């Protein structure tokens, strides 16, 4: 019984960072804007870009999701 319970906990804990990341990225795409040129939306880099997560298509300013480094 205890073993089964712990496995359930671990499963939930493991999936949480992914949920946060997905929600954070969705929020950025919906709500962000370029602070450099005030363009209304940012474009998303391909997955696993090491430096930045989003960039402005208008002026190429790059942005990073801070939560990723926690």
Residues that bind Zn ion (CB under 5 A): 34, 36-37, 39, 56, 58-59, 61
* Residue number with CB closer to Zn ion (20 or 28): 28
- 54 exposed, middle or buried (CB, 10 Å; 0-12, 13-18, 19+)? buried
- Between the alpha carbon of residue 28 and those of residues 14, 33, 39, 52, the distances in Å are 23, 8, 13, 13
We find the least distance from the C-beta atom of residue 51 to Zn ion, in angstroms, to be 17
Q: How many whole angstroms separate alpha carbon 68 and alpha carbon 14? A: 15
* Residue number with CB closer to Zn ion (25 or 61): 61
We find the least distance from the C-beta atom of residue 7 to Zn ion, in angstroms, to be 46
* Residue number with CB closer to Zn ion (7 or 44): 44
């Amino acid at each position: 019984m205890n073993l089964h319970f712990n496995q359930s906990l671990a499963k939930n804990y493991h999936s949480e960072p992914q949920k946060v990341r997905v929600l954070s990225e969705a929020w950025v795409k919906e709500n962000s804007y370029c602070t450099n040129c005030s363009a209304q939306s940012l474009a998303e880099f391909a997955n696993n870009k090491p430096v930045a997560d989003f960039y402005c298509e208008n002026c190429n300013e790059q942005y990073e999701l801070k939560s990723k480094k926690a």
